[in-house]
Amino acid sequence: MTRDEILYWLKEEDEQRLKELWRQADTVRHENVGDEVHLRGLIEISNYCVRECGYCGIRVDNKEIGRYRMTEDEIMECVHEAVQYGYGAVVLQSGEDYGIKTRWLADLVRKIKSETEMAVTLSLGERPDEDLVAWREAGANRYLLRFETSDRELYERIHPSLPGKRSDRFAILRRLKELGYEAGSGVMIGIPGQTYASLTQDIDTFRELDLDMIGVGPYIPHPSTPLGQLNDEQLAPDGEQVPNTEAMTYKVIALTRIVCPEANIPSTTALATLNLAAGRELGLSRGANIVMPNLTPPKYRVMYEIYPAKACISETANDCRYCMHRRILSIGREVGSGQGGRRKRQN
């Protein structure tokens, strides 16, 4: 698919014609990654963060939330729950929290790998190279780091670099692949100032980076963040601004599947937040093949508020598991077994 075609589809609004896009994405999904939907247990291990991302509710300057960091025992309890539920992978996610020490996390990864058969995915921000090396040596399999937008100017506006260290997520993604991680990235859809041209570039960048996992979701304004308090003047000019809608999210999921046929693509919680009744299922029917049931203990989950009114905030891990199973089966798909890593096509 050419860039012009990507742009054309992003701007298409005719429901009948969009059916063709959904059909194409679903066929590519079926042919390349099959009908299994893999479950990744998400554990939000800490909401401390040193960064000041303009969009994110756990940014360092948000004093309105309580902070927590889970202990090794608490995390292992969630991990064993994941095993019991038959999940093939756990995702350890946090803010960029240097209270999570290199050695401590390496030991935790080793423990998970020795006690379970699960794949371990990390999503811990822009950590220094030595951390990425140590955690890979400890056995971590995958790393998620969204580049958020490929428009450098917009990126710098919403994601200030740390003093003296220019944020370069593309360099980190290349390095992750070099180290043997499966690399995951993605963007938010409808950030104020995001244009159709830059979103087209984002999707083309997924293809260029040959990512193993790609997560996309709508941008959801958080009232206690700078971006959440913006007025309409910050939007791109009329006709250029990408809306942060459910419909736009499906288009991006579908186009991502078509340009990256083998990638693992989740139907995200941010999407479910816009349509709790059917968002997850529609994501899965329009290109996605992964869901990430939450394993974080509810008392911490409410504090991991990167955006408000997050779907499934008060469900227990067990509720989330049954809910996901039911949703997967309701659309005629299968619950995946095993780690569900990227399947690369044989040439």
Half-sphere exposure of 35 (CA within 13 A, CB side): 7
| Residue 239 exposed, middle or buried by CB count within 10 Å (0-12, 13-18, 19+) | exposed
- Smallest distance from ligand FES to CB 277, Å: 10
The answer to whether the beta carbons of residues 321 and 85 sit under 8 Å apart is: yes
Least distance from ligand 5AD to the Cβ atom of residue 78, Å: 18
Q: Which of 96, 126, 131, 148 binds ligand 5AD (CB under 6 A)?
A: 148
State residue 21 phi and psi, 5-degree precision.
-65, -45
- In the complex, the smallest distance separating the C-beta of residue 195 from ligand 5AD, rounded to whole angstroms, is 18
Site for ligand 5AD in 207-226 (CB under 6 A): 217, 219-220, 222
315 contact choice in ligand FES, ligand 5AD, none (CB below 5 to 8 Å, kind-dependent): ligand FES
Q: Which of 85, 135, 304, 307 binds ligand 5AD (CB under 6 A)?
A: 307
Residue 328: name its binding partner from ligand 5AD, ligand FES, none (Cβ under 5 to 8 Å by kind).
none
Contact residues toward ligand FES (CB under 6 A) are 272, 280, 311-312, 315, 319-320, 323
CB of 55 to ligand 5AD, least distance (A): 4
Among 7, 188, 248, 282, binds ligand 5AD (CB under 6 A): 188
Establish if 321 lies at the interface with ligand 5AD (CB under 6 A).
Answer: no
Q: Which is nearer to ligand FES, 28 or 312 (CB)?
A: 312
Closest by CA to 37, choosing from 48, 47, 46, 26, is 26
Which three-class secondary structure string do you get for 115-167? HCCCEEEEECCCCCHHHHHHHHHCCCCEEECCCECCCHHHHHHHCCCECCECC
Which tokens is 314 given?
Answer: 């008060």
Select from ligand FES, ligand 5AD, none the partner in contact with residue 323, using the beta carbon and a kind-dependent cut-off of 5 to 8 Å: ligand FES
- Least separation in angstroms between residue 32's CB and ligand FES is 25
Three-state SS for 71-97 is CHHHHHHHHHHHHHCCCCEEEEEECCC
Nearer to ligand 5AD, 24 or 273 (CB): 273
Choose between 7 and 291: whose C-beta lies nearer to ligand FES.
291
Question: Is residue 132 a contact partner of residue 142, using CB atoms and an 8 Å limit?
Answer: no
Burial of 314 (0-12, 13-18, 19+ CB in 10 A): exposed
Angle at 335 between CA 330 and CA 339, to 5 degrees: 155
Min separation Cβ 27 and ligand FES, Å: 25
- Which residue, 52 or 319, is less far from ligand FES as judged by CB? 319
Residues in contact with ligand 5AD by CB under 6 A are 55-56, 146, 148, 188, 217, 219-220, 222, 270, 306-307
